[in-house]
Structure 1
Amino acid sequence: MKLFDVYPLLDINIVKGENCKVWDDKGTEYLDLYGGHAVISIGHSHPHYVDAICQQVKKLGFYSNSVINDLQVKLAERLGKISGYPEYSLFVINSGAEANENALKLASFHTGKKKVLAFDKAFHGRTSLTVEATDNPNIIAPINANNLVTHLPFNDIKAFEKEILEGDVCAVIIEPIQGVGGIRVVSKEFLQSIRSLCTQNNVVLIMDEIQCGYGRSGKFFSHQHADIKADIITVAKGIANGFPMAALLIAPQFQAKHGLLGTTFGGNHLACSAALAVLDVFESDSLMDNATQVGNYLMQELAKIEGIKEIRGQGLMIGLEFDSPIKELRNQLVYKEHVFTGVSGTHVLRLLPPLTLTKADADIFIGKLKKAMKA
């Protein structure tokens, strides 16, 4: 048997990681400004994180959600406090797509309606509902094409207002900073207008914070830059630093009913121990402040480089758009300069490093980027 050919793979086998660096099986060291697709929030192999998982697996790795799990209770309390959402409820699951899928279902249960508003260039997942909310017709299978989702222009409040007033909208789902869409930041005014119109029209506002949340923007959730609250917030990626985990933060007005939602592996003991260790490091190492300081520094220094068309982002979620395709530039970075970055489309480099990135790391990257651009 061979692997199903799903991803175009770099010809590199990564076998070791430490903080913002990884090594391949030949011993080559790489600076990681991709963070395993924004997953590595506290750095690779953080000692406290490793110890927490090892200690937990010695006691109990898994038991089902048919019994009390004190780690879930503790995680809900800690996450509510650090995120600014202490009055919300937590539903812990396994992946970002699963989080968004459950959020959309919960919104429809709550309102009795079925239409969803999303935005151009959005990416929300590959499950039944989320793939339709994703603005990419190439990944929507015939069985998923139910025409329940309308995609609207990003940051266009007039188009949004017109659509929501037509009625039967159960939910609006939006990434405050689009990741796959090219690190496009929603305006504060747009988010505030969406919040107001959702409240007026009994529409559930879902903030997809799967990639842009968990401290990456400098605040715990990126929509908090607009001083608003969401009805449901979905998280994954950095929540457990690489251990498969995701969650919904659910407003008090949603009524729980046994059987509507469920999960087998979600919120298992190992996942919760990993997530609690992440929050420990967030607080002890002031990672949100670091994301702001190093992210601002990095964008300021990048702005001095000629040849970059546009720099977008907040904190340590940065997009570099170029006039020409960046395939060869990225290859130079990976294979010659030994730096990992992400991409978006054909013209944007995505920087999604661990939130532990230092100014010294940023300087190394800038030097290597300049060399790659001249190659």
Structure 2
Amino acid sequence: MRMKLFDVYPVFDITPVKAQGCYVWDDQGTRYLDLYGGHAVISVGHSHPVYVDYISNQLNEIGFYSNSVKIPQQQELATRLGKLSGLDDYQLFLCNSGAEANENAMKLASFATGKKGIISFKKGFHGRTSGAVSITDNPKIIAPVNENEHAVILPLNDIDAVEKQLQNGDIAAVVIEGIQGIGGIHVPDPEFLEQLEKLCKQHGALLILDEIQSGYGRSGKFFAFQYTNIKPDMVTLAKGMGNGFPVGGVLISPELEPWPGMLGTTFGGNYLACAASIAVLDIMEQEQLVSNSEEIGNYLMDQLQKMPEIKEVRGKGLMIGIEFETEIKTIRQKLLFEEKIFTGVSGANTIRLLPPLTLSKEQAEYFIRKFEKVLSELNLHSV
């Protein structure tokens, strides 16, 4: 008898053993085009040589020590991140995951305001830890211990509902995704975000932009909120930040001041995490991946919008949702098992594309040809 895994993940019968760029190979030697990037994690491509060298070289020097000592790579990362993101006057708190980033952002908002309430939005997803899951619009993953009377989930883009809730006076923060990922790739209206910022300032609440999936160049801007003129109080990061190495972070307005022990983490900001994150920024800058995301994303969106079988195409950059009238299970299975292309899902009817930002025009064209083939074979019709 042997210990079994706690079986909570629905998995495909595929065992990846090697990856390079936008491709993954399984244990049978079959190559797949990766248009999902492991939940938007692979930002600069699988096994990029610069990335591998950074981590290997760092491990040869020192891999880990706690935050009780100076780790110069943390400041290097903060400086580089500030420069590339345009938020160079912000402060960086490093942690390990997106859920942890959101937990710390909410805690900081509560410390700063002395309030308890958090507003989030329907179809939003912010993580699976206790506080993060309480503001996630999915009752199936909220255990009784996670229920939070101070969490309020409102319709996206309904500014009147937000204003009414803020008038109650006990809202510490409003948390919103730059682009909703798991909820179906829904982009908040720019006007809504701008009004949201004004209302938060008016009522003494902090605005937290969850850019865990939509950040790091995925939208065609460094952060998706940068399609507007707003400046949030905090921005939460993870996924593409480490290109597969567990890294998370919170970018914090210079107006918010820390004190010793306010936030903390054992593994956050360790040498290897910083090396991975610095490598990602190096590659993004050298290969101009933010602009590539915008260019290739625009091409994909344009081609997809021409397909009559599709109900709606949503997103920005290389964060694309393809909605159908019917369930997409068969479409995804044919793409994966017959055409050898990984895609993601948002709900029952929306395919989610989150490829590495290194995706080339040729690879995008290949996907469009194969996608058209699959849809033609299935004889789908939109209404």
TM-score normalized by the length of structure 1: 0.99
Q: For residues 309-324 of structure 1, what are the structure 2 equivalents within 5 Å?
A: 309-324=311-326
Any idea what SS the aligned residue of 1:116 has?
A: strand
**Distance in 2 of aligned mates of 1:199 and 1:146:** 24
Q: 1:198 aligns with which of 197, 200, 205?
A: 200
TM-score normalized by the length of structure 2: 0.97
Structure 2 equivalent of residue 94 of structure 1:
96
Q: For residues 146-185 of structure 1, what are the structure 2 equivalents within 5 Å?
A: 146-185=148-187
Structure 2 equivalent of residue 274 of structure 1:
276
Contact 1:117–1:150 (CA under 8 A) maintained in structure 2 = yes
Identity of aligned residues (%): 58
**Distance in 1 of aligned mates of 2:285 and 2:253:** 24
Deviation at 1:146, TM superposition (A): 2.1
Structure 1 equivalent of residue 342 of structure 2:
340
Structure 1 equivalent of residue 262 of structure 2:
260
Any idea what SS the aligned residue of 2:81 has?
A: helix
Could you list the per-position Cα deviations for residues 68-114 of structure 1 after superposition, in whole angstroms to 9, with x for gaps in the alignment?
A: 00000100111111111111110111000000001000000000000
Q: Residue 217 in 1 paired to residue 219 in 2?
A: yes
Q: For residues 79-158 of structure 1, what are the structure 2 equivalents within 5 Å?
A: 79-158=81-160
**Distance in 2 of aligned mates of 1:279 and 1:112:** 36
Q: For residues 239-258 of structure 1, what are the structure 2 equivalents within 5 Å?
A: 239-258=241-260
**Distance in 2 of aligned mates of 1:148 and 1:6:** 29
Any idea what SS the aligned residue of 1:349 has?
A: strand
Q: Residue 291 in 1 paired to residue 293 in 2?
A: yes
Any idea what SS the aligned residue of 1:185 has?
A: coil
Contact 1:298–1:359 (CA under 8 A) maintained in structure 2 = no
Farther off after superposition, 364-373 or 294-303: 364-373
**Distance in 1 of aligned mates of 2:325 and 2:143:** 33
Deviation at 1:370, TM superposition (A): 1.4
**Distance in 1 of aligned mates of 2:238 and 2:207:** 18
**Distance in 1 of aligned mates of 2:166 and 2:337:** 48
Structure 1 equivalent of residue 381 of structure 2:
none
**Distance in 1 of aligned mates of 2:281 and 2:178:** 22
Structure 2 equivalent of residue 237 of structure 1:
239
Any idea what SS the aligned residue of 2:53 has?
A: helix
For 1:277, give the aligned amino acid.
A
Any idea what SS the aligned residue of 2:169 has?
A: coil
**Distance in 2 of aligned mates of 1:150 and 1:216:** 28
Alignment size in residue pairs: 375
**Distance in 2 of aligned mates of 1:227 and 1:320:** 28
Farther off after superposition, 110-119 or 297-306: 297-306
Any idea what SS the aligned residue of 1:205 has?
A: strand
Could you list the per-position Cα deviations for residues 173-200 of structure 1 after superposition, in whole angstroms to 9, with x for gaps in the alignment?
A: 0002000000000010000000000011
**Distance in 1 of aligned mates of 2:365 and 2:221:** 24
**Distance in 1 of aligned mates of 2:204 and 2:287:** 40
User: Which segments of 5 or more consecutive residues in structure 2 lack a partner in the other structure?
Assistant: 379-383
**Distance in 2 of aligned mates of 1:119 and 1:255:** 28
**Distance in 2 of aligned mates of 1:20 and 1:47:** 14
Contact 1:34–1:341 (CA under 8 A) maintained in structure 2 = yes
Any idea what SS the aligned residue of 2:351 has?
A: strand
Structure 2 equivalent of residue 8 of structure 1:
10
**Distance in 2 of aligned mates of 1:134 and 1:271:** 27
**Distance in 2 of aligned mates of 1:259 and 1:267:** 16
List structure 1 segments (4+ residues) > 2 angstroms apart after TM superposition: none
